[in-house]
């Protein structure tokens, strides 16, 4: 496994995105069903309702990309954080706030993951033995 990859960050991001997707789709379905007989701007309402599930899908994709291409971890982490904050104000409701928290923590973990230090080329030198004649 690549030591630069934040597995925990990617998995939390994907779980948060799934919650955003599911909650956004559920809210969109309920609102569309309740307003089916009322003409409220038709396509404008549909555009607003579809935003939540689309944000959830994008967060899932970015979570996968964070694990596949860890060299761009700053981009992926910032995207996840921004999208999770935006999801609070859409029909996804941040995945009932839990999806928001999971994605936010995942994005932060993606950002702060550091690669381990490189292995030394030569074995470390041992300390010289103590002098034997001293008391």
Mean pLDDT of the region 11-16: 96
Is 94 part of a structural domain of the chain? Answer: yes
Q: Confidence band (pLDDT; 50, 70, 90) for 132?
A: confident
Domain around 35: 14-112
pLDDT exceeds cutoff 60 at 135: no
Phi, psi (deg, nearest 5) at residue 41: 65, 10
Is 132 part of a structural domain of the chain? Answer: no
Residue 24 CA to its chain's centroid (Å)? 17
Distance CA 12, CA 15 (A): 5
Q: How many structural domains compose the chain? A: 1
Is 62 part of a structural domain of the chain? Answer: yes
Residues in the chain, overall count: 135
Is 3 part of a structural domain of the chain? Answer: no
DSSP-derived secondary structure letter, 135: -
In this structure, are residues 25 and 57 in contact, taking their beta carbons and an 8 Å threshold? no
Is 18 part of a structural domain of the chain? Answer: yes
pTM of the model as a whole: 0.80
Is 129 part of a structural domain of the chain? Answer: no
What confidence score (pLDDT) does residue 21 get?
94
Is 51 part of a structural domain of the chain? Answer: yes
Distance CA 39, CA 43 (A): 10
List pLDDT tens digits, range 80-130.
Answer: 999 999 998 887 788 889 999 999 999 999 999 877 777 777 766 777 777
Is 96 part of a structural domain of the chain? Answer: yes
């Amino acid at each position: 496994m690549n030591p630069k990859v934040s597995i925990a960050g990617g998995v939390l991001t994907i779980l948060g995105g799934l919650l955003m997707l599911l909650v956004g789709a559920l809210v969109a379905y309920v609102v569309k069903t309740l307003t089916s007989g009322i003409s409220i701007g038709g396509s404008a309402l549909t555009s607003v309702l579809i935003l939540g599930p689309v944000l959830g899908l994008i967060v899932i994709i970015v979570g996968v990309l964070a694990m596949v291409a860890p060299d761009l971890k700053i981009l992926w982490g910032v995207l996840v954080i921004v999208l999770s904050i935006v999801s609070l104000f859409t029909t996804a409701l941040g995945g009932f706030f839990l999806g928001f928290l999971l994605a936010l923590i995942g994005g932060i973990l993606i950002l702060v993951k550091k690669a381990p230090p490189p292995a030394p080329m030569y074995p470390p030198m041992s300390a010289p033995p103590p002098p034997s004649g001293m008391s």
